[in-house]
Structure 1
Amino acid sequence: MSHKIHPTAIVSSDATLGEGVEIGPHSVIEGNSVIGDGCVLQSNVFIDRNTFLGKENFLGHGVVLGTPPQDKKFDPNSNTRLVVGDKNIFREYCTVNRATGDGAETRIGSGCLLMTQSHVGHNCHLGDEVILSNIATLAGHVDVHDWVIMGGLVAIPQFTRLGKGAFLGGFSAMRLDLPPFFRYSGRPAEPVGVNHVGMTRRGIPEENIRVVRKAYRILYRSGLVLEKAMEQIQEEFG
């Protein structure tokens, strides 16, 4: 296979490199890891063991993937891993931890953009085409569905769920789950509308967008408690 590996890079004999992989100066690839076809790793990248990258991922300078979770109860002898899809972009100094709990994994889908100094904690699951802006931080066990966009300096606590197509404004701090296609902003984050631009870009019909708007108004602007609002949404839209 043809690879382009800088002489100062260190690649374990137990690592598997796909076709056309490029590894820059002073990068380190630990054992039991897979770097898929066409991946590009710039300088000072660190890939820890049990990290599996799909095809055509780009890792900028200083990216660190698959390191142990920042969790005091983590057993270093446990078998956990980080699994990454295809065509993701990890910009400078982005960090992603592998999972905690034997057999568990941190997962990142395909087509995601993780900007400079963003962080994905242990056991997080990211869908496809997710964007984390600069210094956005996900604690452990966060579920992020497809198309979610997070602004810079966003903070997401453990066990939070961000629904498909949701948008979170910069410098926001979440306390609760974020429903699909809604926009939140602030510290603490509050609902500010629906993600009309995102839905339009994804080709969602206008009639469906109107349904989302109606659901938003019932949930946040009707004055109903959450349980009653959910009942009304279920009655109107099934």
Structure 2
Amino acid sequence: MATATRPGSGKPTPPVNSATTSSAPPGAQRPPLSDRLGAWFRAHTQITSWVGAILVVGAGLFVWTLSTKHRTEEIASRDLQGARFAFENQNYPLAASELAKVIANYSGTNAAAEARILLANARLLEKQPQQAITVLKDFAPGAPQAYRAQAYGLLGAAYEDMGKPRDAGESYENASAAARLDFLKAQMLSDAGRAWTNAGDTTRAVAAYRRIVSEFGKEGIAGEAKVRLGELIKGTAS
């Protein structure tokens, strides 16, 4: 292998080893991840500042939303108490007026949902089934789970009062499906059976009563369902 000589000295210059020119000696370890992340953040201070600001603002908005919702629920509950007092004292016109205000002012709250249930009750007690239907028809399908069965049950009663047993039967069956307790499921099915019978739909009436007997046989209303079922089957056979 040829060697270079230093100018003017005649002495050979040692050959350059390429391994000695690499950036890191063999076997050298990379810096820890925490150090590398720290270096990246120091090199990108503007980006990290923006990210931090966004996180702080987001957290603040979340807390503010929760706080506002909580305050709204408290105010709505107080207003609902006054309307409920009028309802319990059978001052239905005043109750209806106050309940309508709760519904309008606090839409989306639990108090507003309960106000709809009470308002529908007030309308039915005042012999105003059409107004009760107006209150419940659009509300019932999307009502909170805790109020859905009641909403459909009252809607069924309103349809019965209006002489619409077929619509009543559908509403009662929806109420049974939404109910959480077996006795209420059975009661709503019994109401559906009555409505279907009045509508002249024996097939659906029989199906409703059979469900009570087969699925809710331990409930008190099962005895009545057996009687109604027997009457319907006997009437069909004759």
How would you bin the TM-score normalised by the shorter chain? under 0.3
Specify the structure having the higher radius of gyration (Cα).
Answer: 2
More helix by share: 2
TM-score (normalised: structure 1)? 0.26
More strand by share: 1
TM-score (normalised: structure 2)? 0.26
